[in-house]
Amino acid sequence: MLAFTLRRAIQAIGVMIAVGVIAFSMFRFAGDPVNQIVSLDTPAAEREAVRKSLGLDDPVPVQFARYFGNAAQFKFGVSYQFRQPVSNLLMERMPATLELAACATVLAMVFGILMGVYSALRRDTILTKFFQAVSLIGISLPTFLIGILLIYLFSVTLGWLPSFGRGDVVRIGWWTTGLLTLSGLKALIMPSITLGLFQMTLIMRLVRAEMLEVLRTDYIRFARARGLTTRAIHFGHALKNTLVPVITVAGLQFGSVIAFAIITETVFQWPGMGLLFVQAVQNVDIPIMAAYLLMVSLIFVTINLVVDILYTVVDPRLRSTIRRPA
């Protein structure tokens, strides 16, 4: 168990170093950082001074070590567009993205599981057909089209919900939250639906498939033979066993929720990290791009690591196979 955890941790560190090399190469070699800082008519001597002050004269390995050391302390350099430290910008934007991603995930889990269970138990009803049509749309429609559709319906036509921004936010320490004000909650509704729809269809399909599989197993038949109520069989025995893979997938998908937030945040002008990243790509603001890559990779790798380890804790059958190196 310990050896497995250690090996996975070392793998995770390896991935982070690889991502770090990519982020550094982007930062250092994709365009000259000096050109981004000085203006066009800066004399050559001044350019050299800037170059020296940025440490761009040092050997590349030294620069890489310095970049990595700084990144470990959350220092990612200065944004070309905003002339502010990238870490400040990211910290300012992070609560918005995390709040949105968390809301979308909860939404997707609750409705995905409900719809999945229903469509597995009542296979031929009209409601099941409707759920399946929704899931086909959720997988086929691009996220931004769903967002535009919602804006047209609820903002332009009905005027019920705001079409952009976070509404009023409350500051708690360095964290800003929109969950405590009415306008904040209203602003959260449409982006959460847009972001969560894809995950919801994924969870619904997964729950349905798992439920159908579990309902065919012997222990369910045995439970029926024991004379348990249908409700106890469906929810006490069948659903419980389908939830392990569902939680795993939802956990692993949290990383892609954060990445897909890029699109949702652009549609709704949501002031999160994703919008910052898109603006950075449009304006070739490499320090922000590199920092975003590092941050998101860190979140991904951590989630993967935690899920892998939790899996062995939850499911004892996996432990014996893990001990043998593959």
Partner 1 sequence: MSDAVVPHRVEPNTPTARAGTNWLRRALDSDIFYSFRRSRMTMVAAAITVLFFLLAIFASQLAVQNPFDPAQLQLMNSRISPIWTAEGQTPFLLGTDEQGRDVFSAILYGLRISLVVGVLGVILAGTLGITLGLIAGYVGGAVDGLIMRIADVQLTFPAILIALLVNGVAKSVLGNRLDAMSTLGVLVIAIGLSFWVQYARTVRGSVMVEKNKDYVAAAQLIGLPAPKIMLRHVLPNAMGPILVIATINLALAIITEATLSFLGAGMPDTMPSLGTLIRIGNNYLFAGEWWIVAFPGLALAGLILSINLLGDWLRDALNPKLR
Please name the amino acid found at residue 84.
Q
Minimum distance of partner 1 from residue 40's CB (angstroms):
14
321: which 2 tokens?
């196979």
**Cα 229 to Cα 116, 217, 234, 236, distances in angstroms:** 21, 17, 9, 10
User: Which residues 83-112 are close enough to bind partner 1 by CB under 8 A?
Assistant: none
Please give the residues from 278 up to 317 whose contact with partner 1 meets the rule CB under 8 A.
278, 280-284, 286, 289, 293, 296-297, 300-301, 304
Using the minimum distance from each CB to partner 1, give the nearer residue, 176 or 194: 194
Residue 258 Cβ, how far from partner 1 at the closest point, in Å?
9
Does 148 participate in binding partner 1 (rule CB under 8 A)? yes
Q: Where are the alpha helices (DSSP H) in 30-125?
A: 33-37, 44-53, 60-72, 86-121
**Alpha carbon of residue 108 to chain centroid:** 13
Who's near 85: CB < 8 A, 6+ residues apart?
75, 76, 77, 78, 79
Q: Is 30 in the site for partner 1 (CB under 8 A)?
A: yes
Least Å distance, CB 140 to partner 1, is: 4
Q: What track of x and - describes contact with partner 1 for positions 161 through 200 (by CB under 8 A)?
A: --x-------------------------------------
Structure tokens at 126: 């009209």
Nearer to partner 1, 299 or 318 (CB): 299
For residue 76, count other CB atoms closer than 10 A to its CB: 24
Binding of partner 1 at residue 255 (CB under 8 A)?
Answer: yes
- d(C-alpha 198, C-alpha 258), whole Å: 13
Q: Which residues bind partner 1 (CB under 8 A)?
A: 15, 18, 26, 30-31, 136-137, 139-145, 148-149, 151-152, 156, 163, 255-256, 259-260, 262-263, 266, 277-278, 280-284, 286, 289, 293, 296-297, 300-301, 304
